[in-house]
């Protein structure tokens, strides 16, 4: 009989992981415990989404959430969970790795899939900046795996008869960090995730003022402008929440049009699931062409205005 | 005077990996190695505390083949390096790596601050920093893009999904840093020459109390991610840019990709 845990500081990811956890214990008749940063109400929701037991780990005001680690270590030594799924936020990944070191157990970061037959687990994750996928076998338990949001789907819950118990965990008496300030992130300037058409600006743009060529095309297509990391982080031509890639946004638009972007794996990571990829680059050997459906070899200063014009004609007709 | 250690990983340059054939196997024949990008930021943090505030600053690494990295890392600011180079580390995971690094750091002794990159540019498991903190009994302060030394600790700004968390602590810590914390230097000729005079200390696994290194996970397969794309050049055969633009827009419309 297996015993699964999920730990998350965001409730949505918790609900998604609960569905997976239930699937993993399904045949064994085991139990699922959710460690959740949430309210009583969300604890009840977690029960309807699949938890048997909920232990609230509320966000402390004066210290970091990750300071719950020693408490979790104690709980784990008592309950002996087989698999612990942790929501792969930055806090979650920190907590998961500390917990793994204390329990001297394996931890797989941002797994895409996980299978478990009661004695071994097989997981997949991306490596080399998204160039390759690694398949990992673990025979040692507990096993910790972190999971990003939207990797799994939560149950569709209507009226639920599921019952469970809720309790609240206390922080350890001694903590290491003092939080002196929390500054919430300003509201996102753009929602790239919902844009059907995204134009990506790369270092092939020679001046900041040329970014308007991409903006005009995006506007004609009813889309948004995004960029590669150097455009945001080095040149600051566009805000940071607009860069695409492994360290930035991951998007799935109908069309992604990469202009003046070479197509390094770290960037391509963020557009892997775009329905159609279009590339404009003046170098006929640019790697971006290998991941594109359609491409035009040429100077973006000529190609983008021509595309804007063609788009306006089609939309106007 | 504070003692600071930066950890780094000597990784394959992923830009040199070729994906081949139907099986999408990875070809490493033309591979070059580099100091993992994120770790260059970690090294730069240490170098700047050394130059501006007179802290003692060492680099630490481990692997099966890390001696080729020593000159490179020493030209980036550390006063010396301590490392383990052992064939047993040909294949590692975050668990093994953090145990070896913790062993080296304990051997160095009285380290106030350990700085790591937020992840490595090959595996990007983002575990070694927090694992090290747990093994050393230090505070774990991750995803930092501003870091100050205080009298008996640090003050750091963590960049998290929903905003910034500013933390203070006294006592030793492991900090993982984000790429936007600084701009790593490109070593000057003078720094490269000076690196030759710096000391490096090779440690054996036994000397740091580790004789068995069991991997926690077994790699069954690593293969190139599949991305089926059409790869159609729109402007082949002397077509003008205007014609190509129209053809592309028509194509997207025909595909049903235009809203
Ligand atoms: C650990 C790590 C994480 C990273 N994470 C990310 C990430 O999340 N997102 C990201 O984007 N990058 C990331 N990077 C950086 C990434 O490796 C590349 O350096 C970056 O994506 C390159 O940006 P670029 O394509 O805009 O620039 P370049 O690589 O410089 O490419 C510019 C392209 O423009 C073309 N060009 C030049 N002039 C013109 C013209 N007039 N018309 C048309 N084409 C032209 C050139 O042929 C070239 O292909 C990361 C790197 C590392 C090491």
The whole-number average pLDDT for the span B60-82 is 98
The whole-number average pLDDT for the span B219-239 is 91
Q: CA of A161, closest CA in chain B: separation in Å?
A: 34
pLDDT level of residue B154 (50, 70, 90 thresholds): very high
pLDDT value at A317 more than 80: no
What pLDDT was estimated at residue A315?
Answer: 79
Q: Flag whether B22 is in a domain.
A: yes
The answer to whether the beta carbons of residues B70 and B81 sit under 8 Å apart is yes
Same domain, A99 and A214: no
pLDDT value at B55 more than 70: yes
Q: Flag whether A187 is in a domain.
A: no
Q: What is the mean pLDDT of chain B?
A: 96
The whole-number average pLDDT for the span B231-250 is 94
The whole-number average pLDDT for the span B165-194 is 97
Same domain, B240 and B140: no
Same domain, A221 and A110: no
The answer to whether the beta carbons of residues A256 and A274 sit under 8 Å apart is yes
The verdict on pTM exceeding 0.95 is no
Same domain, A157 and A22: yes
The whole-number average pLDDT for the span B195-215 is 94
Q: Which domain holds residue B256?
A: 229-259
Put simply, the answer to whether A106 touches B125 (Cβ < 8 Å) is no
Domain containing residue A210: CATH number: 3.40.50.1220
Same domain, B163 and B249: no
The whole-number average pLDDT for the span B167-187 is 97
Q: What is the ipTM of this complex?
A: 0.94
Same domain, A142 and A205: no
Q: Flag whether A180 is in a domain.
A: no
Q: How far is the CA of A265 from the centre of ligand 1 (A)?
A: 9
pLDDT level of residue A316 (50, 70, 90 thresholds): confident
pLDDT level of residue A29 (50, 70, 90 thresholds): confident
Same domain, A160 and A206: no
The whole-number average pLDDT for the span B140-149 is 98
* CB A205 near ligand 1, within 6 Å: no
Range of lowest pLDDT (A214-218, B29-33, B211-215): B211-215
Same domain, B104 and B148: yes
Residues of chain A contacting residue B122, judged by C-beta atoms under 8 Å apart: 127-128
Query: What percent of chain B shows pLDDT beyond 90?
Result: 90
Domain containing residue A130: CATH number: 3.40.50.620
Same domain, A152 and A264: no
What pLDDT was estimated at residue B21?
Answer: 85
What pLDDT was estimated at residue A193?
Answer: 87
Question: Which atom in ligand 1 lies closest to the alpha carbon of residue A245?
Answer: 8
Q: Flag whether A214 is in a domain.
A: yes
Domain containing residue B119: CATH number: 3.40.50.620
pLDDT tens digits, one per residue of A61-110: 999 999 999 999 999 999 999 999 999 999 999 999 999 999 999 999 99
| Element holding B166 (H helix, E strand) | strand B163-170
Put simply, the answer to whether A185 touches B249 (Cβ < 8 Å) is no
* CB A243 near ligand 1, within 6 Å: yes
SS (H, E, C) A74-92: HHHHHHCCCEEEEECCHHH
**Distances from the Cα of A152 to the Cαs of A29, A69, A297, B226, in angstroms?**
21, 25, 39, 20
- Residue A268 has, within 13 A of its CA and on its CB side, a CA count of 26
pLDDT tens digits, one per residue of A118-130: 899 999 999 998 8
pLDDT tens digits, one per residue of B103-124: 999 999 999 999 999 999 999 9
The answer to whether the beta carbons of residues B81 and B101 sit under 8 Å apart is no
What pLDDT was estimated at residue B219?
Answer: 95
Per the DSSP assignment, residues forming a β-bridge with A6 are A34, A85
Query: What percent of chain A shows pLDDT beyond 90?
Result: 87
Domain count, chain A: 2
The whole-number average pLDDT for the span A19-45 is 93
Three-state DSSP at A207 gives coil
Q: Flag whether B67 is in a domain.
A: yes
Q: Which domain holds residue A76?
A: 3-168
Domain count, chain B: 2
**Distances from the Cα of A162 to the Cαs of A56, A165, B180, in angstroms?**
18, 10, 46
Q: Flag whether B218 is in a domain.
A: no
Same domain, B53 and B145: yes
pLDDT tens digits, one per residue of A267-282: 999 999 899 999 999 9
Q: CA of A305, closest CA in chain B: separation in Å?
A: 9
Q: Flag whether A175 is in a domain.
A: no
**Distances from the Cα of B168 to the Cαs of A169, A236, B172, B192, in angstroms?**
24, 29, 11, 36
Same domain, B169 and B249: no
What pLDDT was estimated at residue A66?
Answer: 98
- Strand segments, DSSP code E, in chain A are 3-8, 31-36, 53-56, 83-87, 107-108, 113-116, 121-127, 132-138, 143-147, 165-168, 178-184, 197-201, 224-227, 255-259, 276-281, 294-297
Same domain, B236 and B204: no
What pLDDT was estimated at residue A16?
Answer: 97
What pLDDT was estimated at residue A159?
Answer: 67
**Cβ neighbours for A132, distance < 8 A, ≥ 6 positions apart:** A126, B17, B19, B26, B222, B223, B224, B225
Which class for A5: exposed (0-12), middle (13-18), buried (19 or more C-beta within 10 A)?
Answer: buried
Among A107, A134, A168, the domain-final residue is: A168
**Cβ neighbours for A63, distance < 8 A, ≥ 6 positions apart:** A171, A175, A177, A178, A179
Nearest to B165 among A134, A182, A222 (CB): A182
Same domain, B82 and B149: yes
Same domain, B124 and B177: yes
What pLDDT was estimated at residue A309?
Answer: 97
């Amino acid at each position: 009989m297996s015993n699964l845990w999920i730990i998350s500081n965001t409730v949505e990811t918790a609900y998604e992981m609960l569905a997976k956890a239930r699937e993993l214990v399904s045949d064994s008749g085991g139990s699922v415990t959710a460690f959740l940063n949430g309210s009583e109400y969300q604890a009840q929701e977690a029960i309807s989404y699949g938890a048997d037991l909920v232990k609230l780990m509320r966000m402390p005001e004066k210290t970091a959430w990750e300071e719950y680690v020693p408490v979790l270590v104690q709980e784990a030594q008592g309950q002996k969970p087989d698999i612990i799924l942790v929501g792969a936020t930055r806090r979650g990944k920190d907590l998961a790795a500390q917990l793994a070191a204390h329990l001297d157990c394996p931890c797989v970061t941002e797994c895409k899939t996980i299978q478990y037959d009661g004695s071994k687990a097989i997981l997949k994750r991306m490596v080399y900046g998204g160039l390759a996928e690694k398949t990992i076998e673990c025979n040692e338990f507990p096993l910790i795996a972190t999971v990003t949001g939207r990797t799994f789907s939560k149950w569709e819950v209507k009226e639920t008869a599921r019952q469970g118990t809720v309790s609240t965990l206390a922080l350890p008496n001694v903590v290491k960090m003092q939080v002196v300030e929390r500054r919430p992130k300003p509201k996102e300037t753009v929602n790239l995730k919902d844009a059907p058409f995204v134009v990506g600006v790369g270092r092939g743009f020679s001046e900041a003022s040329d970014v308007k060529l991409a903006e005009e095309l995006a506007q004609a297509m009813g889309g948004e402008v995004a960029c590669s990391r150097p455009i945001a982080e080095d040149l600051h031509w566009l805000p940071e929440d607009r860069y695409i890639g492994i360290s930035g946004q991951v998007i799935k638009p109908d069309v992604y049009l990469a202009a003046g972007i070479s197509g390094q794996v770290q960037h391509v990571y963020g557009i892997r699931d775009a329905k159609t990829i279009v590339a404009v680059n003046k170098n006929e050997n640019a790697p971006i062409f290998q991941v594109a459906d359609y491409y035009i070899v040429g100077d973006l200063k000529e190609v983008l205005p021509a595309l804007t014009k063609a788009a306006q004609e089609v939309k106007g007709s | 005077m504070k003692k600071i250690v930066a950890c780094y990983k000597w990784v394959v340059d992923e830009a040199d990996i070729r994906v081949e054939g139907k099986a999408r196997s990875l070809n490493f024949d033309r591979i070059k190695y580099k100091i993992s990008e994120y770790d260059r930021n970690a090294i730069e943090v240490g170098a700047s505390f050394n130059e501006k505030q007179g802290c003692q600053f060492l680099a630490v690494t481990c692997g099966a083949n890390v001696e080729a990295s020593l000159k490179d890392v020493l030209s980036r600011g550390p006063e010396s390096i301590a490392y383990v180079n052992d064939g047993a580390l040909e294949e590692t995971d975050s668990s093994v790596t953090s145990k070896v690094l913790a062993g080296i750091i304990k051997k160095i002794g009285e380290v106030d601050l350990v700085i790591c990159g937020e992840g490595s540019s090959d595996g990007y498991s983002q575990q070694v920093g927090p694992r090290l903190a747990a093994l050393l009994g230090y505070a774990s302060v991750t995803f930092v893009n501003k870091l100050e030394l205080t009298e008996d600790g640090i003050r750091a700004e963590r960049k998290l999904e929903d905003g910034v968390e500013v933390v203070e602590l006294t006592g030793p810590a492991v900090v993982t840093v984000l790429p936007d914390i600084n701009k790593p230097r490109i070593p000057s000729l003078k720094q490269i020459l000076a690196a030759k005079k710096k000391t490096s200390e090779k440690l054996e696994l036994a000397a740091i109390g580790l004789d068995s290194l069991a991997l926690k996970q077994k790699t069954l397969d690593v293969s190139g991610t599949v991305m089926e794309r059409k790869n159609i050049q729109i402007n082949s055969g002397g077509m003008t840019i205007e014609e190509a633009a129209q053809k592309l827009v028509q194509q997207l419309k025909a595909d049903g990709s235009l809203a």
